[in-house]
Amino acid sequence: MGVTGSKAEHRISKILDAALEVFSHKGYRDSAVDDIATTSQTSKGGVYFHFPSKQAIFLALLDRMADLLLSRASKSMAAEPDWPKKGDAALATMLHTFADHRNLTRLFLVEALGAGREFNQKILEMHITFTALIKDYLDTGVVDGYIAPLETRIASIAWFGAVNEVVTRWVLDEEPGNLEDAYNPLRELLRRGIGL
C-alpha cells in the first residue's frame, strides 16, 4: 500500500470503480450487486462487508463525483484574480472534467435522477450546492459592480441548467462530439444573459 490508503480503503476504491463501471453500463436498477462483486474481483459478501447496501454504494459514487467537480471548480476559480475570468475558468473546468469522466457524468446526470425516489433528496442537495456556488459568484459580481442587479436565484438555476443540458445531450449521444467545443458559444450566452 502506498502512502495513501489502507488495505480497506484500497478495496473500497476498487469496489467503487467496479460499481461505476457496472452502473454506468447498465443503469442503477439493472445492476446487480453480484455484478459489482464480480467486476471488482471480490464477492457479494465482500461488498456487503464494506457497504451496508447497494444504495450506499451509489450514494458514495455520487459524492465522489460532486467532490471532484466542486474541488476542481473552486480551485480553478481561486486561481483567477478578476471576477469575469473566474466564471470562465469554472465553466472550462467543469466541461473539461465532464469530458474526462463520461461514465461518472452519465451516472451523475442521468442515472441518478430516475434511480429512485430515495435519491431525489440527494440530487436536489447537489443541484442546490452547485447553484449556490453560482449564485455566490453572481452576487459577488453584482456587489462589485461588474453586472447590474438581477434575480440571481433564478439566474444561477438557469446557468446550471444550461450547462447541465449541454452536457446531458453529450452524454446521451451515441456518437458524442467534443464537449469542450461548446465552451465558447455557451460562455457567450451565459455572460450576455447576465448583461456582461
CA 196 to CA 188: how far, in whole Å? 9
Tell whether the torsion through CA atoms of 133, 169, 103 and 22 is positive or negative.
positive
Q: Closest separation between CB of residue 57 and DNA, Å?
A: 8
Helix axes 117-143, 152-172, angle to 10 degrees: 130
By CB under 7 A, name the one of 5, 49, 128, 185 that touches DNA: 49
Grid cell, residue 17, equals: 470503480
In angstroms, give the least distance from the CB of 100 to a copy of itself: 20
Query: Which C-beta is closer to a copy of itself: that of 35 or that of 111?
Result: 111
Taking the complex as a whole, how short is the minimal distance between the CB of residue 14 and a copy of itself, in angstroms? 25
Nearest CB to a copy of itself, comparing residues 5 and 185:
185
Shortest distance, CB of residue 112 to DNA, whole angstroms?
16
| Residue 66 · residue 129 · CB < 8 Å | yes
Task: List the end-to-end C-alpha distance of the chain, in Å, as a whole number.
Answer: 50
Asked if 149 touches a copy of itself (CB under 8 A), the answer is no
User: Which CB atom, from 73 or from 155, has the smaller least distance to a copy of itself?
Assistant: 155
CB nearer a copy of itself, residue 30 or residue 34: 30
Long-range contact pairs involving 111-116 (C-beta distance under 8 Å, separation at least 24)? 111/23, 111/24, 111/27, 111/28, 112/28, 112/58, 112/62, 115/27, 115/28, 115/29, 115/58, 116/28, 116/29
Residues that bind DNA (CB under 7 A): 6-8, 11, 30-34, 42-46, 48-50, 53-55
Residues that bind a copy of itself (CB under 8 A): 26-30, 110-117, 120, 123-124, 127, 131, 150-151, 154-155, 157-166, 168-169, 172-173, 182, 184-186, 188-190, 192-195
